[in-house]
Structure 1
């Protein structure tokens, strides 16, 4: 897990600036203290703390918003294990909620090595994504968990009833239907998919087919240019937004 107090993120090319939409629902407030946010590796964004890191994620959010006038699905895919992809996904989703007219939904799609529920200290006894995909009777609402942060919801990976996870879940009709339903139900909902590593398995590539935008996360001084290029080649260039270099990955 990354120590956010010593991490930096930098975006690389292929994004532009955008303006803000109207502000609404001002009466919502977080139930988490700065110390509790820190425990969850979520950037404390109150009282001007961690301004440089907060602004890095705000810049990424702004560039993402420039790519479309509609709500969209963003895949955050690490090059390899240990790049801090989940950290970036979590905090980029959070940054979207800085604009009080927008909601964010984070979905942990790393079925083999899920981490978002543990990092965010959420009891996921109702199950999660994998349980929904395996059970035709499961309801979408049962998977949505509050995070203690206004307008940010989590769908955890869940636990399979059948043992080994299969990436073919991501190519199923039920997965596509789920994302279409989640996006269309709220016009101000932006969905972030926390992906498994890109190299070594087809999961990230399959998930990218369901996303509108792809962001690659590389560990600063961890992944070689060759690794990054090989990972980027998995994605449609029309969806590929750029690379985030995560320091201290």
Structure 2
């Protein structure tokens, strides 16, 4: 598997000396995201923006190894849920957008929900080759499929084409090498993975086991305690698990709503 990611995916970096292609550039419709109530750089102090400012802080401390022992590959953060429809992709995109506002960090948002990819759809982008294509094609490099965006510090890696052996591919040595490359190539990079739901596919637990930090999204007043317990049971091998209680109602007299760490 070719892992030679051109440094050009880092904002301001020059083209690779070996002639590797610079990542493609795509335009996210930020006005559309703002109208949907999502986090954007120019969106101001919206409820979602304020909530994700709180949510990202402990994750960034873990990614940077602040306040204690450094978390191995702590800059690899997977966002998952017990069941579909709990808002994991919405949270993954908002978390990536919020972290991309940091002054000294670049963010790579990876759509790892390879059976039902939706990151590009949320961002208003067309389907593109991505993660599965790299794992299936030894001649394909990360730089061939990574997408730079009009948010200078945010890049996107699509899910790519579906494959019936997705679980085995995500558990493969090629995937482990790719994750090591993604985690270590740039010290200032945080990588957010949108994962499949834990109780629907086997891919989710395989992916989570390879991450430094896990974020489990729980839908308020909908996800059952049994589903949460089963999801947490599958995450037992993971040392750093965080929960987001999503879709909460506003408290009386409180304008902020929706996401709490």
TM-score by length of structure 1 reads 0.79
Spell out the pairing of 1:28-43 with structure 2 (5 A cutoff): 34-38=30-34, 42-43=38-39
Partner of 2:77: 74
Contact 1:112 1:165 in 2 (8 A): no
Residue 34 of structure 1: how far off its partner (Å): 4.8
Contact 1:97 1:104 in 2 (8 A): yes
**Structure 2 Cα separation of the partners of residues 132 and 64 of structure 1:** 27
CA RMSD of aligned residues (A): 2.5
Q: 1:92-140: CA deviations, max 9, x gaps?
A: 1111111121011111111110001122122344x11111111111011
**Structure 1 Cα separation of the partners of residues 83 and 202 of structure 2:** 12
Question: Where do 5+ consecutive residues of structure 1 fail to align?
Answer: 1-24
Partner of 1:89: 92
Partner of 2:176: 176
Contact 2:107 2:191 in 1 (8 A): yes
Query: Relative to 1, partners in 2 of residues 1:154 and 1:40: Cα closer, same or farther, differing over 3 Å?
Result: farther
Contact 2:197 2:204 in 1 (8 A): yes
Spell out the pairing of 1:46-57 with structure 2 (5 A cutoff): 46=42, 48-50=44-46, 52-57=47-52
Contact 1:45 1:54 in 2 (8 A): no
Query: Relative to 1, partners in 2 of residues 1:233 and 1:132: Cα closer, same or farther, differing over 3 Å?
Result: same
Aligned with 1:105: secondary structure? strand
TM-score by length of structure 2 reads 0.76
Give yes or no for the alignment of 1:109 onto 2:115: no
Q: 1:163-222: CA deviations, max 9, x gaps?
A: 535211111111111111112111100111110001132211101121001110111111
Partner of 1:206: 206
Aligned with 1:62: secondary structure? helix
Query: Relative to 1, partners in 2 of residues 1:202 and 1:177: Cα closer, same or farther, differing over 3 Å?
Result: same
**Structure 1 Cα separation of the partners of residues 237 and 166 of structure 2:** 26
**Structure 2 Cα separation of the partners of residues 220 and 201 of structure 1:** 22
Question: Where do 5+ consecutive residues of structure 2 fail to align?
Answer: 1-10, 13-26, 66-73, 249-257
Residue 33 of structure 1: how far off its partner (Å): 6.4
For these two proteins, the number of residue pairs brought into alignment is 218
The answer to which structure, 1 or 2, has the higher relative contact order (CA under 8 A, 6+ apart) is: 1
Partner of 1:14: none
